[in-house]
Amino acid sequence: MSDTLEAVRETLPMPLVQLSMQQAINRALGEILDADDRALVFGEDVGVLGGVFRVTDGLQARFGAHRVFDTPLAESGILGTAIGLAMAGFHPIPEVQFDGFAYPAVNQIITQLARMNYRSRGTLPMPVTLRVPSFGGIRAPEHHGESLESLFAHVPGLKVVSPSSPQQAYHLLKHAASMPDPVIFMEPKARYWNKAGVNLADNVVGAGSASLEGSVVVRPGKHATLIAWGAMVSRCLQVAELAAEDGIELEVLDLRWLKPIDEAALAASVSRTRRAIVVHEGPHTAGLGAEVAALVSQSCFDVLRAPVERVTGFDVPYPSGDLEDEYIPNIDRILFGVQRVLEYRRG
């Protein structure tokens, strides 16, 4: 009888657990450490303090200071340590405390982390998952808010992913940590405290997606596609809600993986709506939106009814504090982008 009840229980959907993104990442890290004795979490203040955003809270007490430990304030050293540990057979999960602090580690990331597997002809894989609290929206001082995805995505050998919700953060982090490749995991700081239901089942990957690879449509539509990642997905969903009041149905595509980009999903979505707006926080010139726009134009040239629009940050250093709201794409700027593609007329 008990076997029958257990079989029935396994077929029932797992109830959603209300978690913030910070809690979802913490839970994922705990499960990764629990399942893999070679996994190590380290960075500035991640141990005793539990991280400045408390993402690693309680992990050192649970797993010990030999597996969750603090490092000196030396980002290049953090990445160098991660590379050496990976070469020795460990699965490092280092944290760069803020995105702007990643610049001192760029040399290690580009010249060593991204190339080691290639350089060694596959004998030294780099299963390193680098967690980077990313983007703006928390009114932090200079160097505490950046949008570095185009820098990382440009580097051969790296994979880059940015979750937009607690559900995506939980599952994508576990997936990234299972890869034999170096993955830059860009966590949108502005979304750390937003709670949502998370299905913890291993076979659940997120609404609208059959895989943890590639992009996912988080809102279907027919008049235009909003393409975004990280915190901008939530903002685009707000825009779609407002546009719906005027009868405009906007599709929202969460790009998720910024390297490699899911070209098939881009083409499928824009082929349906025939118009596209890319939204991101990084600067306009040579931002990742330019690559997305090129891929859309290449795949959908025959069906596009307007040029691909980009709504982005400006070509200035990422501002701090009070100027963030002027820099980060807001609802009005995105709506104006939508208006431009909807009203575009050839000739």
What is the CATH number for 118?
Answer: 3.40.50.970
Residues 21, 66 within the same domain: yes
**Confidence class for position 185, pLDDT limits 50, 70, 90:** very high
Domain assignment present for 1: no
Domain assignment present for 331: yes
Instruction: Give the tens place of pLDDT for each residue, 150-173.
Output: 999 999 999 999 999 999 999 999
**Confidence class for position 12, pLDDT limits 50, 70, 90:** very low
Q: What proportion of the chain, given as a percentage, has pLDDT over 70? A: 93
Q: Which residues are catalytic?
A: 144
Residues 248, 194 within the same domain: no
**Confidence class for position 9, pLDDT limits 50, 70, 90:** very low
Number of domains present in the structure of the chain:
2
Residues 187, 290 within the same domain: no
Question: Alpha-carbon distance 327 to 96, whole Å?
Answer: 23
Domain assignment present for 244: yes
Residues 189, 220 within the same domain: no
Answer for the pair 274, 305: CB distance below 8 angstroms, yes or no. yes
Instruction: Give the tens place of pLDDT for each residue, 69-100.
Output: 999 999 999 999 999 999 999 999 999 999 99
Is cis: bond before 260, omega within 30 of 0? yes
- Residue 333 burial (CB < 10 Å; 0-12/13-18/19+)? middle
Average the pLDDT over 241-259 and give the result. 98
Dihedral (C-alpha) 18, 22, 25, 31: value to the nearest 10 degrees?
Answer: -70
Count of other CB atoms within 10 angstroms of residue 125:
16
Give the lowest-confidence range in 28-42, 112-126, 206-220, 316-330.
Answer: 206-220
Residues 128, 254 within the same domain: no
Residues 68, 194 within the same domain: yes
Domain assignment present for 2: no
Query: Any bridge partners for residue 184, and if so which?
Result: 130, 160
Buried b / exposed e over 238-272, threshold 16 CB at 10 Å, is ebbeebeeeebebbbbbbbbbbebbeebbbbbbeb
The last residue of one of the domains, among 198, 224, 239, is: 198
Residues 6+ apart with CB under 8 A from 171: 28, 204, 205, 206, 212
Residues 225, 171 within the same domain: no
Residues 130, 227 within the same domain: no
Residues 33, 88 within the same domain: yes
Buried b / exposed e over 38-58, threshold 16 CB at 10 Å, is ebbbbbbbbbeebbbbebbee
Regarding predicted confidence, which is higher, 121 or 13? 121
Quote the domain boundaries for residue 238. Answer: 216-343
Regarding predicted confidence, which is higher, 284 or 203? 284
pTM: 0.93
